[in-house]
Amino acid sequence: MNPHFEMGPIRPPSEAQSLLIRVTRNCPWNQCEFCHTYKGETFSIRSLEEVQKDIDQAKEIADEIRDLSWRMGQAGTVNQTILRQYFSHPKAQNQAHQTVAGWLYFGGSQVFLQDGNSLMRKTDDLLAILRYLKEKFPSIQRITSYGRARTLAKKSVEELKELREAGLTRIHIGMETGYDPLLQYMKKGVTAKEQVTAGRNVVASGISLSEYIMPGLGGERWWREHAVESAGVLNQIDPDYIRLRTLYVRKNMPLYRKVEKGEFARPSDDQIVTEIRLFLETLNGIHSTVVSDHILNLLEDVQGKLPGEKKKMLALIDRYLAWPGEKRLQFRVGRRLGYFRGLEDPDDPNLLLRVDQIIQDVRRSIREDPGRAALDSEIEKEIYALMENYI
């Protein structure tokens, strides 16, 4: 028998080294205009027996890999030598085997509970899952999950404390925005007041809290309200982390239909940078760590601990905005192609030469096609199209 277990489609970037255990399937709300992940899928809660069986399967794979390590004289350590040997076997091409092997290689200490809102399960079920995980894998130090704000607003602090004591260490909430008209427009199904209640409940329980904000979600119409009101909600919560996830509108998102009708206009990259500056400027009285850990974010450098590093983050944004238009264009193209990560990278003449060549090629193709629009707007479309590679 070849052990395997079920895994969902997504997890936060910060959980790249986590073992994925699917406790629910898909998203119970699944109406957000800006999300495509679970559209067309049905939500269900997996039985406790199913989840425990998956944990058993993961344990069987982990034991197999560790046994190989002992046989090869590596004393149970999972290093690159063990991975190469293990992956040479045909059965190790299974995704579950690869996932567990990679997890052990990175320490085998983190677990992420999937899918979109695992916290909607009954607290007793979650407690049983957490305890079973810790029993089977004593090496686990961190267990995290997505949780919807409306769900967490209904969970008592006492319930959340029980979950913390059983091993749940962090909850990720997709806040997206704190502006009520925008929440309604995007069919988020939650209010700013509920977001505050949910966030405060998590913080009071002692569970680490990551809140996700989506720059650009307000469009050109509501960008200012989106920035200010979102910061206002977070000022009332003081989460451990504020994570930026820049909006990209794909064709398979409901929001794309509003773009086609002219109802919604995504701001340009430079406008979004200005929005983020206003957002950061409005954050006050909190001690959160701002994180820009996604490739869709233009300025990965803009991250730090509040309040001490706020001026540094604002200075980085001001530095970018003060660049001449051509230099900002070079950076945007380089970032979207994966050549640039930080504001220092354009100082590398080799990288800059490659980016300049691409810009000139695009400009040349636009000039040679009389059916295409103005040069600057066409280049912006080309840059925007590059972002889809990272979703």
Do 356 and 230 fall within a single domain? Answer: no
Ranges of beta strands (E only) in 294-348 are 304-305
User: What CATH number has the domain bearing residue 314?
Assistant: 3.80.30.20
| Residues 222-236 pLDDT 10s | 999 999 999 999 999
Do 217 and 308 fall within a single domain? Answer: yes
The pLDDT value recorded for residue 190 is 98
Q: What's the domain range around 117?
A: 13-324
| Residue bearing tokens 């999937």 | 114
Mean pLDDT of 82-108: 91
DSSP states of 332-375 = HHHHHTTS--STTGGG-HHHHHHHHHHHHHHHHHHHT-TTS--H
The answer as to whether 367 is a domain residue is yes
Do 297 and 329 fall within a single domain? Answer: no
Instruction: Give the residues across from 25 on adjacent strands.
Output: 44
Domain boundary among 324, 354, 382: 324
Taking the C-alpha atoms of residue 182 and residue 219, their distance in angstroms, rounded to an integer, is 10
| CA 122 to chain centroid | 25
pLDDT tier at 369 (50, 70, 90 boundaries)? low
Taking the C-alpha atoms of residue 102 and residue 68, their distance in angstroms, rounded to an integer, is 15
Residue 254 has pLDDT above 80, yes or no: yes
Whole-model pTM: value is: 0.92
- Rg over alpha carbons for the chain, rounded to the nearest Å, is 23
Tokens encoding 362: 């695009």
The answer as to whether 8 is a domain residue is no
- Residue 196's Cβ-count burial label (10 Å; 0-12, 13-18, 19+) is buried
Do 104 and 144 fall within a single domain? Answer: yes
Domain boundary among 307, 324, 341: 324
Do 85 and 216 fall within a single domain? Answer: yes
| Residues 138-180 pLDDT 10s | 999 999 999 999 999 999 999 999 999 999 999 999 999 999 9
- Residue 10's Cβ-count burial label (10 Å; 0-12, 13-18, 19+) is middle
How many domains in the chain?
2
| Residues 279-337 pLDDT 10s | 999 999 999 999 998 889 999 999 999 999 999 999 999 999 999 999 999 999 899 88
Which secondary-structure segment (H or E) carries 198? helix 192-205
* DSSP class of 266: P
